[in-house]
Amino acid sequence: MAIVRMTRVTKCVLQYHGRKEELAPVFDYFKSCANEAIRIGVEKSLTSRYKLHCHLYHKLRSDSNFHNKYVFGALECAASKLKLYKRTIRKKPSAKIPYISRNHLILNNESYKIEGDTIRIPTEAGKYLFIKLTRYVLETIRDAKLGNLVLTDDKLIISYSLTVTEQKVSRFIGMDRNLDNVTTCDTQGRCNVHDLSEASRIINTYDRVKSRFRSNDARIKKKIFQKYGKLQKNRVHNILHCTSKKIVFQNSGIIMEDLKGIRKLYRKGNGQGKKYRRKMNSWSFYELQRQVEYKARWLGLPVEYVRAEGTSSKCAVCGSRLVPEEHRKMFCPTCKSIVDRDVNAAHNILLRGTRVVPDGVACEAVMTEPGRKEPVICRVDAAKSGVGIYLPIT
């Protein structure tokens, strides 16, 4: 009997609201509650979310200073800050105790209510604030299960989730992320290069603009830089959204390399130039991964991660070390062929994530053992022969 895997997937929808003055006391109230939770959390060294809820939920709820509907959200907020704090003090013991100063409010799905086309948000005991939802938001969340609500100075964000059945796919895509492009290679041997050089150009331009800024006033500098940061983010994310949509809509399982910890390679003191480090550290590889993953999961497509070491330096056919050539080309001394660096890497990722089950004649002998003249069949390159079936490694 086939196992049907069900997963719960979450997305968010946002709308802008024009309420400012009415919300100021609400935000202050929420911040004081969250900061109190952080204070007690640090004092009693409660860092995990579970412990924080166990120790403080009933205590803060019974405290008349705090609105009981805000306690859950405040603890969630405090837990995330404390988690970050725990990680920071390991490296820097003199780090400041976190403090929440940003205006926002988190409510769980039991604390707010949607009645018709308006959302009811509790402000004080027995008092509510009503915000009209747009048609788009109502349409989006109609059949979904509602999650937390986040309210900021100008935005209202509702998270919603669905249970999806994981699709049985016969095709997989290996995805290699680079600074200027994303290369995909699928199990039928088709390769696609999605250009991302426009994103790099935008980041460079904003960097140049910011570097020419001359003012000694830190407050003005902060404001202006925030503005440019927002513009840059919007423009880059738009390009990434277009690319991730194209990748996901091929309706195949997705295999990506696990790039966790890559920033460690470009730290100060690693012997690299400032400009190079800046370029590599502004590479938004994670944002693309996040977008591809949530979009794929929403459609019930499987997403797998493989180890990243050696994907671009080893030959996808024979596994020997490649020699770099000009224009992102690589030469394989064993196969005596020149391959494209990105296509080879995408192919390697695909092979790592899939287990090749040869279903026909082994048509490609792919490895020569040292000391033997005859090549030995070690692996069958089914993507090239077209006779293999790809199965994901589980």
Question: How distant is the alpha carbon of residue 331 from its chain centre?
Answer: 34
Q: Taking a C-beta distance cutoff of 8 angstroms, is the pair 380, 356 a contact?
A: yes
The structure tokens listed for 133 are: 């939802």
Q: Which of 318, 350, 382, 383 binds Zn ion (CB under 5 A)?
A: 318
DSSP state of 391: E
Which is closer to Zn ion, CB of 228 or CB of 331? 331
φ, ψ dihedrals at 160, nearest 5°: -140, 155
Coil, helix or strand at residue 323: strand
Is 303 a residue that touches Zn ion (CB under 5 A)?
no
Smallest gap, in angstroms, from Cβ of residue 314 to Zn ion?
Answer: 8
Which is closer to Zn ion, CB of 23 or CB of 315? 315
Which is closer to Zn ion, CB of 240 or CB of 315? 315
Which is closer to Zn ion, CB of 267 or CB of 321? 321
Q: Burial, 288: exposed, middle or buried (Cβ in 10 Å; 0-12, 13-18, 19+)?
A: buried
Is 335 a residue that touches Zn ion (CB under 5 A)?
yes
Please list, in sequence order, all residues whose beta carbon lies within 8 angstroms of the beta carbon of residue 69, skipping any fewer than 6 positions away.
107, 111, 122
Is 351 a residue that touches Zn ion (CB under 5 A)?
no
Q: Which of 141, 315, 345, 351 binds Zn ion (CB under 5 A)?
A: 315
Size of residue set near Zn ion by CB under 5 A: 6
Burial call 60-93: b when 16+ CB within 10 Å, e when fewer: beeeeebbbbbbbbbbbbbbebbeebeeeeeeee
Which is closer to Zn ion, CB of 275 or CB of 373? 373
Is 343 a residue that touches Zn ion (CB under 5 A)?
no
Smallest gap, in angstroms, from Cβ of residue 318 to Zn ion?
Answer: 3
Smallest gap, in angstroms, from Cβ of residue 349 to Zn ion?
Answer: 16
Smallest gap, in angstroms, from Cβ of residue 350 to Zn ion?
Answer: 16
Tokens 């890497």 sit on residue: 345
Is 330 a residue that touches Zn ion (CB under 5 A)?
no
Smallest gap, in angstroms, from Cβ of residue 183 to Zn ion?
Answer: 18
Smallest gap, in angstroms, from Cβ of residue 325 to Zn ion?
Answer: 14
Is 332 a residue that touches Zn ion (CB under 5 A)?
yes
The binding track of 94-123 with respect to Zn ion, each residue x by CB under 5 A or -, is ------------------------------
Smallest gap, in angstroms, from Cβ of residue 372 to Zn ion?
Answer: 17
Q: Hey, which bits of the chain come out as E strands?
A: 6-16, 104-107, 113-115, 118-124, 127-132, 145-152, 155-165, 172-177, 181-186, 191-195, 253-258, 303-307, 323-324, 329-332, 337-340, 354-357, 389-392
Q: Which residues bind Zn ion (CB under 5 A)?
A: 315, 317-318, 332, 334-335
